[in-house]
Each structure stands twice: as structure tokens, then as C-alpha cells.
Homo-oligomer: A and B are copies of this chain.
Amino acid sequence: MARAASLASAGELALVERLAARFPGSGRGGAVGIGDDAAVCTPDPGGRTLLTTDVMVEGVHFDLGLTTPRQLGFKLVSVNVSDLYAMGGRPRHLLLTFALPRQTTLAFFDALLDGVAEAAARYGVSVVGGDLSGTSGPMNLGATALGYASKPILRSTARPGDAIYVTGPLGDSAAGLAVLGHMAHARIRPADVRSERMKLPAGLPAWGVARPCVERHLCPVARRPSAAMVRAATAMIDLSDGLLIDLGRLTRASGAGARVELGRVPVSGGLAAVASALGLDPLGLALGGGEDYELLYTARPGVRMPGRRIGRITAEPGLTGVDKAGRARRLKAEGYTHFGGG
């Protein structure tokens, strides 16, 4: 079958066989894989089962003019694994649900599976099933991840006084998206850039400086919590919609609030360079930008924990930001949501 051939000419059976060959039968945990009515998994002894699902819709979550299918497949797995990591979980199995236009090429399909396979190997998960459908509309890529945790870490169990940590720099993904917007306007596809020193439009820094932000957006890596974090975290959430929105969710679920030391919110050098070139506020990108997939967690104060401490949980609800001069201001939970709202 020529790789330029469309899925319609390949036929469903051939596609399912392609999937089954790519992700052969029994994964970890003695799973029965693709090819039966349902996948069969042997539960982790003693653990509780974690289940999550996330969908990526063309035109909403991604633009096929900017991302490669391999990056798409990788990101689809990462965003689901990130949700399990955020519960202190061990990801194990994955289902895929692809609704693809009939004219999609086999080459695209294979590259999408390449990205899924690369991420699955990285995170130690096995693809055990899914559902394949045609669609007349935008591509819709979904995944469900199943994992295990001895003691799941919820977002609702932070306590006043707890210190708040993030595992890495924030805002990179939003900065990457801004760079991609300018590249698209100048008709430069990231996949076509061959030199780290290539000049980007809009006074942006060279590709080598901006690239980490762009890759963070197109192909994020889920942050695995360390054993110390799983042991000591009182609450945890992954940063998918932005620090303020996600911290807002964690504090509301915990019946609490938070005080954030704005000067301690970590930003990368790449983000600083991109923000400076585009006249954007780096702190604004770090507070409001989504899709970084770092973890935000809380722990009892006075314990040295991994990541950057950025504030503390308060009994009083709402989010307050404190600048380096000690001036406090209310922060509004802002970032990306579907259908608007918070």
C-alpha cells in the first residue's frame, strides 16, 4: 500500500491490522490488546485504578499547518499521562480514538502512530485498544490512559500553610505558540527550519533560542513526579490550562486560597527572550499560559522539596500575588478554557 494512499483506499481492516501490528498484543500487566471487544488488564496488586481521557481537536487544540503528525501523536500521549502523573500514578495502558477525514494519507497515519509509539515507550505504557472512525470534519484525536496508584494524590487535599511548588519554568508553551503564530504569518513551518541560527520574523531571537518554547508547545513531555513528591505531596495538579486557572482549581477544590510570590515564578531564558522581542509580559505568559504540563503541588512547610517554591496555601479563598516589593494584589484566574468561562 503506497504511503500517499488515503485511509479510504486502505480500508478499515487494513488500518486496524496496522495498529495491531504496531502495538502487539500483550503489554505490561498481561493485557489482551487490540482485536477483541475490550482490552483486558491485570490490576496492580494493592493499587487503585486511575482513569483519564483527553481529546485534541483540529482547529481547537492543533493546526496541521504547524505541527507534524509525529508531534501530535506524542503530545496526545503526554497530555493523558500527565493527568495520571498528577495523581501520583503509574501509567500503564492506553486506548486511542481517532476520527480522521477519509482523505488522510497512510503516511500521516503511520507518522501519528510513530509519535504515539515513541511516547508510549518513553512512559512505559502499552496501547491496548481504541476506536477508528471517519469524519467529514476536523480531525479528532482522543486517548484514554489507565494507571495505578497506591495512594492517589488529589487536588482537593491542600491545607492552609502548605507550601506551593512547581516542577519547572512556566509560560514556555504559550511563548512557543506566539512564535508559531509569527512563523505561520511568514509561512515558515517549524519542520522546515534547518539551522539553529536561522533568523525568525518579528524581531524574534534565532531559532535555537526560541525552539525549546516551540517544542514545549508542539511536543510536551509529561513531568513524572519524584518518589519524594509522591510521598509528601498533600495535593497535586498538572498545569494544562495555566498557573492561575489550575491553582484556582486546586485551591477551590481544597476550600482554600493561595498567596503567590510573583518574583519566584520560574521562567526560562527562551521565554524571556521571546517575550522581550514581542513586547509581551513574561510573568503574564507564566501565570496565564497553558499547556506547560509541569506539575503544581503542595507540601507541609519546612520540608525541602523538588522544584521551585512559589507561595503558600491560605485559609482565605482566592488568589493573591505579592511582588518583590511586598505589594499584594488579587489575581484573577485566567487562561484557556473551551466555551469561555473559568
Chain A residues proximal to chain B, CB less than 8 Å? 7-15, 32, 35-43, 47-55, 57-61, 82-84, 86-87, 89, 93, 95, 97, 99, 102, 128-138, 140, 142, 144-147, 149, 152, 154-156, 236-238, 253, 337-342
The smallest beta-carbon distance between A246 and chain B, in angstroms, is 10
List the B side residues contacting A137 at CB < 8 Å: 57-59, 135-138
Identical subunits present: 2
- Docked-complex contact A38 and B87, CB < 8 angstroms: yes
- Docked-complex contact B132 and A99, CB < 8 angstroms: no
Task: Please give me the 4 A-B residue pairs with the lowest Cβ-Cβ distance, nearest first.
Answer: A11-B341, A137-B137, A38-B52, A37-B86
22 contacts between A and B (CB under 8 A): A7-B339, A10-B339, A11-B340, A11-B341, A32-B152, A35-B155, A39-B52, A40-B50, A40-B87, A41-B48, A43-B49, A51-B93, A51-B129, A52-B129, A55-B131, A55-B140, A57-B137, A59-B137, A60-B133, A95-B144, A135-B137, A135-B138
Q: Which residue of B lies closest to A44 (CB)?
A: B43
A98 to B86, CA, bound (A): 22
The smallest beta-carbon distance between A326 and chain B, in angstroms, is 32
List the B side residues contacting A238 at CB < 8 Å: 37
- Docked-complex contact A341 and B38, CB < 8 angstroms: no
A82 to B8, CA, bound (A): 27
- Docked-complex contact B12 and A339, CB < 8 angstroms: yes
- Docked-complex contact B55 and A48, CB < 8 angstroms: no
- Docked-complex contact A338 and B51, CB < 8 angstroms: no
A93 to B51, CA, bound (A): 9
- Docked-complex contact A11 and B342, CB < 8 angstroms: yes
The residue that A129 contacts in the complex, of B35, B53, B89, B136, with Cβ under 8 A, is B53
- Docked-complex contact A38 and B93, CB < 8 angstroms: no
- Docked-complex contact B134 and A40, CB < 8 angstroms: no
Q: Which residue of B lies closest to A99 (CB)?
A: B57
List the B side residues contacting A253 at CB < 8 Å: 35-36
The smallest beta-carbon distance between A91 and chain B, in angstroms, is 10
- Docked-complex contact B337 and A12, CB < 8 angstroms: yes
A40 to B146, CA, bound (A): 10
- Docked-complex contact A49 and B42, CB < 8 angstroms: yes
- Docked-complex contact B51 and A132, CB < 8 angstroms: no
The smallest beta-carbon distance between A55 and chain B, in angstroms, is 5
A12 to B60, CA, bound (A): 14
Q: Which residue of B lies closest to A102 (CB)?
A: B339
The smallest beta-carbon distance between A243 and chain B, in angstroms, is 15
The residue that A146 contacts in the complex, of B49, B58, B131, with Cβ under 8 A, is B49
The smallest beta-carbon distance between A150 and chain B, in angstroms, is 11
The residue that A51 contacts in the complex, of B35, B39, B60, B61, with Cβ under 8 A, is B39
- Docked-complex contact A341 and B10, CB < 8 angstroms: yes
The smallest beta-carbon distance between A235 and chain B, in angstroms, is 10
List the B side residues contacting A82 at CB < 8 Å: 37
